[in-house]
């Protein structure tokens, strides 16, 4: 196994949005990377150095774990796992297709739990490591047409808090980042055009259009690069003009 100056960073949902910007930020800083998403061509097109790209659905734990083990055999143990993969399917609770609820809960919650479980024992044994879960401001407060999405992101916030308590005695950090409205592809998953239009109108009305995915990525990198003894437990980050 080759020796690298920096430790392995694993990023899920790395084919767009926050994940893609995270990949660029960490690659530019010289970290070896494992990038995971369902659209492998988007990740490979970035052509980042010391990077392995794998087509992985985080719900499929065995494939997820195989990808991490392969990267670790080349780059060493995972020092940072960023559970970023997520879907946002907005809809009215009374009429939304239950399959959309299931998809969000599977990817946004079970996928995060899968990732944590894959790396936790190694991190506990080494008494070092960081897990950062990308939740949402919708993981601490309600929004209209966000019922199932809020349920999934409140779940991420809660499970991150529990995992933090379990891992703190082992000197392992478990952090959550809770972004507000940011321009990414995430809204494109929603199937109700009226809800999409309403959401975009809301963003425009409050002026929440200037914050970028790169801002979120830089914040996450900052939290990770603080000393291991420093835990920025929960970071709520929004556009300055977003007041809700």
What gap in Å lies between CA 221 and CA 98, rounded to an integer?
Answer: 36
Q: Residues near 122 by Cβ (< 8 Å), separated by ≥ 6? A: 77, 78, 129
Instruction: Mark whether 31 is an active-site residue.
Output: no
What gap in Å lies between CA 60 and CA 14, rounded to an integer?
Answer: 16
Q: What's the order of all strands across the beta sheet hosting 234-237?
A: 51-55, 33-37, 8-12, 78-83, 130-134, 173-179, 234-237
Catalytic one of 4, 31, 149, 224: 149
What gap in Å lies between CA 241 and CA 148, rounded to an integer?
Answer: 26
Q: List the structure tokens of 195.
A: 């809800």
**Nearest to residue 187, comparing CAs of 240, 231, 149?**
149
Q: Is the dihedral of CA 64, 70, 71, 77 positive or negative?
A: positive
At residue 54, the 3 state secondary structure works out as strand
What's phi and psi for 10, nearest 5 deg? -110, 130
User: Interhelix angle for 147-167 vs 111-126, to 10°?
Assistant: 10
At residue 30, the 3 state secondary structure works out as coil
Positions marked catalytic = 149
């Amino acid at each position: 196994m080759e020796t690298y100056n920096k430790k392995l960073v694993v990023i899920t949902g790395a084919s767009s949005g926050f994940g893609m910007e995270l990949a660029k930020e960490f690659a530019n800083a010289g970290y070896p990377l494992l990038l995971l998403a369902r659209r492998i061509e988007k990740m490979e097109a970035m052509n980042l150095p010391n990077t392995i790209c794998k087509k992985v659905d985080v719900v499929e734990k065995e494939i997820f774990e195989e990808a991490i083990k392969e990267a670790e055999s080349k780059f060493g143990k995972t020092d940072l796992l960023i559970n970023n993969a997520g879907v946002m399917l907005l809809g009215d609770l009374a009429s939304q297709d239950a399959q959309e609820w299931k998809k969000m809960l599977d990817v946004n919650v079970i996928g995060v739990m899968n990732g944590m479980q894959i790396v936790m024992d190694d991190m506990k044994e080494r008494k070092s490591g960081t897990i950062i879960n990308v939740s949402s401001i919708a993981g601490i407060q309600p929004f209209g047409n966000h019922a199932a999405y809020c349920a999934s992101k409140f779940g991420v916030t809660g499970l991150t808090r529990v995992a933090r308590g379990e891992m703190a005695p082992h000197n392992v950090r478990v952090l959550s980042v809770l972004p507000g409205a940011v321009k990414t592809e995430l809204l494109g998953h929603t199937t109700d055009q009226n809800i999409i239009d309403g959401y975009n109108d809301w963003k425009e009305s409050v002026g929440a259009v200037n914050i970028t995915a790169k801002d979120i990525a830089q914040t996450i990198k900052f939290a990770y690069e603080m000393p291991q003894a420093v835990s920025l437990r929960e970071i709520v980050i929004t556009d300055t003009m977003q007041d809700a």
